[in-house]
């Protein structure tokens, strides 16, 4: 089987592609072919495609600039349906598969005729800082309504998917003694040495095939090809127990030997070839004692006019396309180099029969390349060809113009120091500029780090192998025989040339952001001296590639423009991630309900089957109301439930309350220190309402705690604060009073609880526990009885939140559903009515009980009318600070009840309270605010509320006004009264 579609730039032989497996794919709906082993970029180049996309700002036509992850220009969208449309893939990193569908980005209309190209024609009016400077006309409103939408449309990086990501992602902990980042010759050699010394070694390489430049540079190792020698190294590492992960990018270095890595598991496979239920990507959280940075180096370009034209690329890219993919990027290529490295690719291209010219910026170079015409002391001045390069002008020692179809540029190499800076930056250990190598080298590394290969500044494979041996020695690696390197590629430090003389506008540095040599000059002119400010002003080094091919040129030019040394300017801060990581990979399976699971009461199923509508309360799903046939809305249901409870018998699920079991000889003493009131005198078999303060004196939480034995208490907390109360108790116990002999555990999930409330609740309880005396004498208010129900422990509490005669019963969670159903059956004779949170809320507001709305962290005991609940005989958490003068300020807001004057007007939650309806309704006149609202109180036959206002005592029986600025601003007239609307003498509860 052979490819049938033309690939004019593909050589007949060479490369690491599988020519027996042609693959058909599309780019902008046109059909092309490549081979297994191709990247999208190499297959398109082979097919003669030069134009890959449009630039971000000026919409200039752009080709492919590199052959690796540093690619700034050739960004494409991969489309597999609406939810799987994925923008900003680097064509150099996309592996070809059968049926791959790709699209170019950043244009309106066809790629060749982008309507936004006008931006390029007016680009002299769109310099750096243009966005910041220009759009003030018309003010902020004009920015939001007019300018921003247009700019966003014009300056985009592809289209995002508009539906939930259908893929799934895994997170995995991965452990190693030593992590080796980068699977080039240096990384693999170091890894083998360490693996042979008995260390567990993990090699991560971002490419689909490990080996780095050895795969395409043409060097031979002990007589083997680079690819064969790489295979040999990998096999040896694995034989020694090491692991080698291709397609795995280590994107971040974190504290404590933690490294983030992204493994791309199935993006390179056609959909049909993907195994079901496998993750698209795995986020490895790697824990390693040591790390070897073998991250390599990234070639840089030189600033000259038109250096962004499709057909201009890095010299190493031209070499990689030839060596790895068998693609000759031009029949008549020109190399423009500042160092020896350009000669190898020139010779390799000439060997294929291409007509090669090399422009060497150095006048004094003596190097030759076979079959290559060399011009010395010469630099490219301008590249021509909007849609594809066809000519290059040169100047310097001689000037002229060449016909050419590919321009391969080498301005030198930048060691990939990114990862080496992620944590060392915090020690103020920054990348170091080496003026001889003209490159930034890694910062001073800590003991657990080493670097190997070209990231150390090593020039050439022999030096890289030496640096690998040094790195391995640092970590106690085994000695290895060094391979003989034949046909070694010549490498040298470059001549210093960041931009050619006369380069300005249209001499690009950052191809992704269209930042030019001129922009950097403008930044300097505007007074931006810091490289970080220059980055933000010009946008050089931003977006998806983070300036991997442009930063160093930019900062070097800034140094020149501001008359400083490059080392004084320094680099911008390197932060994770090294290359983009999809958010889905960080989320893994922790999304939607797997991120925040629901908690269900044991009677959730019963409630659902009986018409409950649920509300999320924290993680809990709690019944809000139970709809009966014919009821129009929630309020009608809630009011019916409230009335039934007041008149007969209600039942509600209180399983969600926090429950803490406290035991030990010092348990009572511990409670004494936690709560404001006293606990030592509480007899066994009694419950007490308790109030907890924070140490700063504000109210923290409330609840009822019962004494089951001398040394055994059962505490309840509010649903919302259950976890916080537990952590608070642990903190004060462990940090302040570790000598107290007390232990406690959360038993929230171990017990189910229900409340029976209403005049018939005693009858119902007696019917459920016929052997018990639950009369007012046998079980008085706040009485507690521990008994059994069908052989299971049952705890009965005579406590009330509703203001009615009421009991709570707790049984083990696994029998709670059965107990609830029995209560419903037994209670049927009194028309037992289940009530939800809404009715519970009406009941407790009528009674003036506080909950989270009132206890919002800003109130004191006095503010909520519980100032009497302080024992003066003992110390407790918050006691000292509750004596602060601010707490006795007469201007403090205190709790009060409000009743709507009009039957049909509803008080609004969060409304602001005023004493005049004339306004202004602002902070100068506000008295306070509403915290809880009953939309309708059967007791008052209208809406009531709890509120906090200044001088509350003075406003009893007075008319006030509630205004909600976030609702409809209607002025609601209310009357203030005691918040204890219902049974203020507590006769119902105690009778």
What HEC string does 691-737 produce?
Answer: EEECCCCCEEEEEEEEEEECCEEEEEECCCCHHHHHHHHHHHHHHHC
Q: Pick between residue 152 and residue 426 the one whose CB is nearest to other proteins.
A: 426
Residue 421 beta carbon to other proteins: minimum distance, rounded to whole angstroms: 13
- At 508 the three-state DSSP class reads strand
Q: Pick between residue 735 and residue 924 the one whose CB is nearest to other proteins.
A: 735
Distance of CA 411 to the CA centre of its chain: 36
Strands (E) across 236-371 are located at: 243-245, 248-254, 258-264, 281-293, 297-299, 312-314, 333-337, 356-360
Q: Pick between residue 313 and residue 729 the one whose CB is nearest to other proteins.
A: 729
Residue 256 beta carbon to other proteins: minimum distance, rounded to whole angstroms: 4
Q: Pick between residue 696 and residue 710 the one whose CB is nearest to other proteins.
A: 696
Q: Pick between residue 466 and residue 723 the one whose CB is nearest to other proteins.
A: 723
Residue 708 beta carbon to other proteins: minimum distance, rounded to whole angstroms: 23
Q: Pick between residue 467 and residue 677 the one whose CB is nearest to other proteins.
A: 677
Q: How far is CA 34 from CA 22, 37, 100, 302, in A?
A: 6, 9, 11, 31
In the complex, which residues of this chain contact other proteins (CB under 8 A)?
Answer: 254-258, 285, 287, 289, 423, 426-427, 673, 695-697, 727, 730-732, 734-738, 874-875, 880-881, 883-885
- State the Cα–Cα distance between residues 912 and 404, nearest whole angstrom: 76
Q: Pick between residue 202 and residue 927 the one whose CB is nearest to other proteins.
A: 202
CB atoms within 10 A of CB 686: 16
Segment (H or E) for 671: helix 667-674
Verify cis geometry, omega within 30 degrees of 0, for the bond prior to 920.
Answer: yes
- State the Cα–Cα distance between residues 351 and 349, nearest whole angstrom: 5
Verify cis geometry, omega within 30 degrees of 0, for the bond prior to 313.
Answer: no
Q: Pick between residue 589 and residue 884 the one whose CB is nearest to other proteins.
A: 884
Q: Cα angle vertex 74, ends 128, 23, to 5°?
A: 170
445: left (phi over 0), alpha (psi -120 to 50) or beta: beta
Q: Buried b / exposed e across 855-894, counting CB within 10 Å, b at 16+?
A: beeebbbbbbbbeebbbeebebbbbebbeeeebeeeebbb
Residue 885 beta carbon to other proteins: minimum distance, rounded to whole angstroms: 8
DSSP-assigned letter for residue 801: S
Q: How far is CA 596 from CA 171, 593, 717, in A?
A: 17, 5, 22
Residue 729 beta carbon to other proteins: minimum distance, rounded to whole angstroms: 10
Residue 165 beta carbon to other proteins: minimum distance, rounded to whole angstroms: 23
Residue 888 beta carbon to other proteins: minimum distance, rounded to whole angstroms: 12
- State the Cα–Cα distance between residues 596 and 602, nearest whole angstrom: 19
- State the Cα–Cα distance between residues 471 and 479, nearest whole angstrom: 12
Residue 710 beta carbon to other proteins: minimum distance, rounded to whole angstroms: 22
Q: Pick between residue 460 and residue 678 the one whose CB is nearest to other proteins.
A: 678
> % helix / strand / coil in the chain, to the nearest 5?
25, 30, 45
Residue 875 beta carbon to other proteins: minimum distance, rounded to whole angstroms: 4
Of 299, 75, 261, 74, nearest to 182 by C-alpha is 261
Residue 271 beta carbon to other proteins: minimum distance, rounded to whole angstroms: 34
Residue 732 beta carbon to other proteins: minimum distance, rounded to whole angstroms: 8
Q: Pick between residue 715 and residue 756 the one whose CB is nearest to other proteins.
A: 715
Residue 730 beta carbon to other proteins: minimum distance, rounded to whole angstroms: 6
Of 821, 804, 755, nearest to 602 by C-alpha is 821
Q: Pick between residue 427 and residue 575 the one whose CB is nearest to other proteins.
A: 427
- State the Cα–Cα distance between residues 668 and 678, nearest whole angstrom: 9
Q: Pick between residue 595 and residue 731 the one whose CB is nearest to other proteins.
A: 731
In sequence order, what are the beta bridge partners of 317? none
Q: Pick between residue 732 and residue 767 the one whose CB is nearest to other proteins.
A: 732
Residue 575 beta carbon to other proteins: minimum distance, rounded to whole angstroms: 14
Beta-carbon-side half-sphere exposure of residue 788 (alpha carbons within 13 Å): 3
């Amino acid at each position: 089987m052979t490819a049938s579609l033309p690939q004019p730039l593909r050589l007949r032989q060479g490369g690491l592609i599988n020519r027996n497996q042609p693959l058909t794919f599309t780019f902008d709906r046109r059909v092309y072919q490549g081979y297994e082993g191709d990247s999208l970029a190499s297959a398109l180049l082979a097919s003669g495609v030069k134009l890959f996309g449009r630039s971000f700002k000026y919409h200039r036509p752009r080709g492919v600039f590199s052959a690796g992850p540093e690619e700034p220009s050739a960004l494409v969208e991969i489309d597999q349906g609406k939810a799987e449309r994925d923008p900003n893939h680097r064509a150099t990193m996309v592996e070809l598969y059968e049926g791959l569908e790709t699209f170019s980005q950043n244009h309106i209309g066809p790629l060749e005729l982008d309507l936004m190209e006008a931006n390029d024609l007016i680009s002299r009016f769109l310099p750096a800082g243009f966005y910041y400077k220009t759009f003030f006309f018309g003010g902020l409103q004009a920015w939001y309504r007019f300018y921003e939408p247009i700019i966003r449309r014009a300056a985009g990086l592809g289209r995002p998917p508009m539906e939930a990501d259908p893929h799934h992602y895994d997170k995995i902990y991965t452990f190693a003694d030593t992590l080796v980042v980068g699977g080039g010759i240096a990384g693999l050699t170091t890894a083998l040495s360490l693996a042979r010394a008995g260390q567990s070694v993990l090699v991560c390489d971002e490419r689909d095939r490990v080996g780095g430049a050895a795969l395409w540079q043409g060097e031979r190792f002990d007589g083997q090809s680079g690819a064969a020698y790489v295979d040999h190294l990998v096999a040896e590492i694995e034989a020694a127990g090491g692991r080698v992960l291709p397609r795995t990018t280590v994107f971040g270095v974190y504290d404590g030997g933690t490294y983030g890595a992204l493994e791309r598991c199935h993006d390179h496979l056609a959909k049909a070839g993907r195994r079901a239920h496998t993750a698209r990507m795995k986020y490895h959280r790697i824990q390693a004692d040591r790390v070897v940075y073998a991250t390599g180096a990234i070639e840089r370009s030189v600033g000259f006019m038109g250096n962004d034209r499709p057909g201009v690329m890095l010299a190493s890219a031209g070499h990689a396309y030839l060596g790895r993919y068998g693609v000759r990027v031009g029949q008549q290529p020109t190399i423009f180099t500042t160092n020896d490295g350009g000669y190898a690719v020139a010779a390799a291209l000439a060997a294929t029969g291409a007509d090669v010219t090399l422009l060497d910026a150095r006048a004094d170079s003596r190097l030759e390349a076979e079959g290559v015409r060399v011009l010395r002391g010469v630099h490219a001045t301008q590249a021509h060809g909007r849609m594809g390069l066809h000519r290059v002008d040169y100047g310097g020692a001689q000037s002229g113009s060449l016909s050419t179809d590919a321009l391969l540029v080498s301005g030198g190499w930048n060691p990939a120091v990114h990862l080496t800076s992620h944590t060392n930056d915090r020690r103020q250990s920054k990348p170091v500029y080496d003026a001889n190598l003209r490159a930034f080298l890694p910062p001073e590394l800590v003991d657990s780090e080493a670097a190997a290969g070209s990231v150390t500044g090593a020039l050439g494979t022999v030096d890289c192998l030496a640096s690998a041996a040094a790195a391995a020695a640092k970590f106690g690696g085994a000695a290895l025989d060094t391979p003989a390197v034949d046909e070694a590629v010549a490498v040298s430090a470059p001549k210093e040339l960041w931009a050619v003389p006369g380069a300005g506008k249209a001499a690009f540095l950052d191809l992704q952001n269209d930042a030019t040599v001129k922009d950097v000059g403008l930044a300097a002119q505007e007074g931006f001296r810091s490289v970080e400010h220059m980055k933000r002003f010009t946008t050089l080094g931003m977006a998806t590639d983070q300036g991997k091919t442009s930063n160093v040129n930019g900062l070097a030019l800034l140094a020149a423009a501001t008359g400083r040394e490059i080392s004084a300017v320094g680099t911008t801060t390197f932060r994770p991630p090294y290359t983009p990581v999809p958010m889905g990979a960080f989320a893994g399976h922790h999304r939607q309900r797997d991120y925040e699971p629901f908690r269900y009461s044991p009677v959730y199923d019963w409630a659902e089957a009986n018409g409950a509508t649920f509300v999320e309360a924290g993680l809990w799903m709690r019944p809000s109301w139970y709809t009966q046939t014919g009821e129009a809305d929630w309020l009608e249901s809630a009011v019916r439930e409230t009335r039934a409870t007041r008149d007969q018998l209600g039942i509600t699920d209180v399983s969600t309350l926090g429950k803490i079991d406290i035991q030990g000889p010092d348990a009572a003493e511990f409670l004494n220190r936690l709560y404001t009131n006293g606990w030592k005198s509480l007899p066994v078999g009694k419950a007490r309402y308790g109030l907890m303060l924070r140490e700063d004196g504000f109210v923290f939480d409330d609840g009822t705690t019962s004494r089951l034995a001398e040394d055994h208490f059962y505490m309840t907390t509010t649903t919302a604060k259950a976890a916080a109360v537990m952590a608070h108790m642990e903190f004060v116990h462990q940090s302040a009073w570790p000598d107290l002999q007390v232990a406690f555990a959360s038993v929230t999930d171990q017990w189910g609880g229900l409340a029976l409330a209403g005049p018939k609740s005693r009858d119902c309880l007696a019917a459920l526990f016929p052997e018990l005396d639950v009369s007012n004498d046998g079980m008085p208010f706040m009485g507690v009885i521990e008994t059994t129900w069908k052989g299971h422990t049952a705890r009965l509490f005579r406590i009330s939140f509703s203001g009615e005669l009421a009991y709570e019963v707790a049984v083990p969670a696994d029998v709670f559903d059965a107990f609830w159903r029995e209560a419903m059956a037994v209670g049927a004779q009194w028309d037992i009515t289940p009530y939800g949170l809404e009715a519970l809320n009406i009941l407790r507001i009528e009674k003036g009980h506080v909950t989270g709305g009132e206890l919002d962290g800003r109130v004191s005991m006095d503010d909520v009318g519980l100032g009497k609940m302080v024992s003066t005989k003992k110390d407790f958490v918050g006691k000292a600070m509750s004596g602060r003068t601010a707490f006795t300020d007469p201007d403090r807001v205190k709790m009060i009840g409000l009743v709507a004057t009009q039957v049909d007007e509803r008080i609004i939650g969060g409304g602001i309270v005023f004493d005049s309806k004339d306004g202004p309704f602002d902070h100068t006149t506000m008295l306070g605010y509403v915290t809880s609202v009953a939309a309708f109180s059967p007791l008052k036959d209208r809406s009531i509320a709890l509120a906090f206002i200044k001088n509350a005592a003075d406003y009893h029986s007075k008319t006030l006004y509630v205004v909600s600025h976030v609702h409809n601003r209607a002025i609601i007239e209310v009357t203030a009264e005691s918040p204890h609307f219902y049974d203020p003498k507590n006769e119902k509860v105690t009778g």
